[in-house]
Amino acid sequence: MNAQKINSALVSLYLVLFFLFLLGPLLVMAVSAFNTPSYPQVWPIRGVTLNWFVQLFHDKEMLEGLRTSVVIGVSVSILSVAMGLAGALVMTQLFGTSRAYYYFLVVAPVLIPGIVLGIATVVFWRDFTGLLGLRSLLYNGTVLTILAQSSFVSSYCMLIILARLQRFDVSQEEAALDLGASYPQVFRDVLLPYLRPAILSSAMLGFLTSFENYNATTFAILADKTLTTVLASRVRMGSSPVISALATVIVVLTILAALMFEWVKRREQRRQWSREKEARESERLETA
């Protein structure tokens, strides 16, 4: 056996072990969701059942937590993308030491532990809403969790949008302004279409980060419940195949969403290539 075959065998073994390490727990969880024992069990398979999925869809506490998590995730995604976009635009207008200070300021929430963010959010908004007389309106678990999560998710969104924005050709804005467009029109018709892939990516990241967050959520949620807090309380009392069923559903939905997002992204790229090809063709015809 020569060195090339040995290297090929080692690489294949590494890939098998890597994917086994990565996907093995998911496979075990999926199998236990269809097995009949009342405790998550992979082997022996005593029977195949959908009973755990039926129990899942009749679990009011789990469904309430899921509903709250979706509401929080969508709200955090919208708020974080808006703040991240604004932060990225401001970053492009700063230079020198002020840029470095500003970058540290907007990225600092990522470095702060989630527990600290959750507690700080509750303490600040408890006193602030009390001074404004809005405690009954704004001081609740769902609103506090949205504010706590947005404080660091917006930093992730800003970094994604900034990476795209740094490759933007400013001459496109200058050309639009020379042609008589206003600044809002340039932002809407020139900059936003260019940033659309980054905005969609940051929105997806923001939702997923919010959906699975636990450290900040567990302190900011107060009396409300999210899916992560419900699962944490259930696991303390002992695991159940219902949790495996829920995890299987989430994994399947995540894979479908990722495939859909990739399909939309590639379709947008094909449209962009088609527009660029048509522009080059029309330019060639005009010069001929």
Give the CATH number for residue 160: 1.10.3720.10
Q: What percent of the chain has pLDDT over 90?
A: 9
- The answer to whether 40 and 239 are in contact (CB under 8 A) is yes
Q: Is residue 34 part of a domain?
A: no
How many domains does the structure of the chain reveal? 1
Q: Are 148 and 117 in contact (CB under 8 A)?
A: yes
* pLDDT band at residue 77 under the 50/70/90 scheme: very high
Domain assignment present for residue 78? The answer is yes
Percent of the residues in the chain that have a pLDDT greater than 70, as a whole number:
97
In a domain? residue 37? no
Are the C-beta atoms of 225 and 68 separated by less than 8 Å?
A: yes
For residue 217, is pLDDT > 70? yes
Please give the radius of gyration of the chain, using alpha carbons only, rounded to the nearest integer.
Answer: 25
More confident residue, 83 or 40: 83
Which of 83-87, 102-106, 119-123, 224-228 is predicted most confidently?
83-87
- Look up residue 164 and give its two tokens: 């795209």
Phi, psi of 157 (to 5 degrees): -60, -40
Q: Quick check: 75 pLDDT over 90?
A: yes
16 is a domain residue: no
Range name among 18-27, 41-50, 91-100 with the lowest pLDDT average:
41-50
- In this predicted structure, what is the pLDDT of residue 132? 77
Q: What is the pLDDT of residues 158-208, one digit of tens each?
A: 999 988 888 887 777 778 777 777 888 888 888 888 888 889 889 988 998
Tokens of 131: 């001074």
| Structure confidence at residue 32 (pLDDT) | 78
User: What is the mean predicted confidence (pLDDT) over 96-123?
Assistant: 85
Q: Indicate if the pLDDT at residue 226 is higher than 70.
A: yes
The pLDDT of residue 81 is: 93
Is residue 54 situated within a structural domain?
Answer: no
Rounded to the nearest integer, the mean pLDDT of the chain is: 82
Per-residue model confidence (pLDDT) at position 79: 93
In a domain, 194, yes or no: yes
> Which helix or strand (DSSP H or E) is residue 99 part of?
helix 97-111
* DSSP secondary structure string for all residues of 132-166: HT-HHHH-SHHHHHHHHHHHHHHHHHHHHHHHHHT
Q: What is the pLDDT of residues 1-20, one digit of tens each?
A: 577 778 888 888 888 888 88
Q: Which domain holds residue 172?
A: 61-238
In a domain, residue 200? The reply is yes
- pLDDT tens-digit readout, 31-72: 777 787 766 766 777 777 788 888 888 888 888 888 899 999
Give the integer Cα–Cα distance in Å for 146 and 168: 31
| Domain-embedded: residue 280 | no
pLDDT of 153 above 60? yes
Distance of CA 220 to CAs 24, 129, 137, 212, Å?
Answer: 33, 15, 16, 14
Question: How do residues 111-134 score in pLDDT, each as one tens digit?
Answer: 888 888 888 888 888 888 777 777
Structure tokens at 247: 């995890």
Q: Cα-flanking dihedrals φ and ψ of residue 240, to 5°?
A: -145, 150
